[in-house]
Amino acid sequence: MQPIQITFKKRPRLKKPILVEGLPGVGLVGRLAAEQLVNELDAQPFAVMRSCYFPPQVIVDDRGEISMFENTFYYWKNKKGKNDLIILMGDHQGLSADSHYEVSEAAVKLAYKYNTKMLYTLGGFGTGRMTKKPRIFGAVTDQKLKKQLEKQGVLFKGGPTFIVGAAGLMLGIGKEYGMKGACLMGETHGAYADPNSAEHVLKVLTNLIKIKISYAGLEKMAKEIDKEFEKIKKAQEKQNKELLRGKELSTMDRMAYFR
């Protein structure tokens, strides 16, 4: 296998497409947002990326059937706007620093061949806590884009910060290919999949590219996760009460012994 192998299922004719990246990352925010976008637009797969930079393993589904790790490029033709979409969604970014660069550049090169001038990368901004109303943080390759994002409520952190992985590298590499770009990062705990944060990121993105979709899938997923967290919270509270009760009984026993 070549280090990175991209296989085309079809070669669509696209109109100045915008590239949207949603690979797995912090809180799976970008991945979940991209998946909702693909499903709602009924975007079609046209190219698949496989790589020896991905983990040396296969995925086994609930039927016991295996599949390789791969990242898929989808396209959507915008009948009401100036720009079609290329959406990158998949299973992995890479295992090493070198592979992150290689995977990111391969994706940018594919979009460049379709005359892409604009790209958005989606991801999570880990804070170690869950929130109902996650803030959206941004980064841009051009100050003019910053004003557009700020109008959508996107925040920009002061001082030097870092964006790890494809969400940052694709912006930097895209800039070298003459593309403008912006990263949208939803506030999230970081240790759990966060469809609520993904929904907020996706709402900003769809406003920026002027399309309308339903967010019902992410809303349903968020409610299910909230229920699970509530169960865990109640179980922990019960356990803490039992531990506290145990300590109280132990203290009473010791007091009785010394009487």
Residue range 119-178, pLDDT digits in tens: 999 999 999 998 889 999 999 999 999 999 999 999 998 777 889 999 999 999 999 999
pTM for this model (two decimals): 0.88
- What is the C-alpha separation between 224 and 196, in angstroms, rounded? 11
Q: What proportion of the chain, given as a percentage, has pLDDT over 90?
A: 77
Residue range 161-216, pLDDT digits in tens: 889 999 999 999 999 999 999 999 999 999 899 999 999 999 999 999 999 999 99
User: Are 120 and 21 spatial neighbours (Cβ–Cβ below 8 Å)?
Assistant: yes
Whether 75 has a pLDDT exceeding 70, the answer reads yes
Count of C-beta atoms within a 10 Å radius of residue 86: 25
Residue range 227-241, pLDDT digits in tens: 876 777 677 777 777
User: Are 134 and 199 spatial neighbours (Cβ–Cβ below 8 Å)?
Assistant: no
**Is 16 exposed, middle or buried, given 0-12, 13-18 or 19+ CB atoms closer than 10 A?**
middle
In one-letter notation, the amino acid at residue 227 is K
| Residue-wise burial string across 194-227, b where 16 or more C-beta atoms lie within 10 A, e elsewhere | bbbbbbbbbbbbbebbebeeebebbeebbeebee
Whether 24 has a pLDDT exceeding 70, the answer reads yes
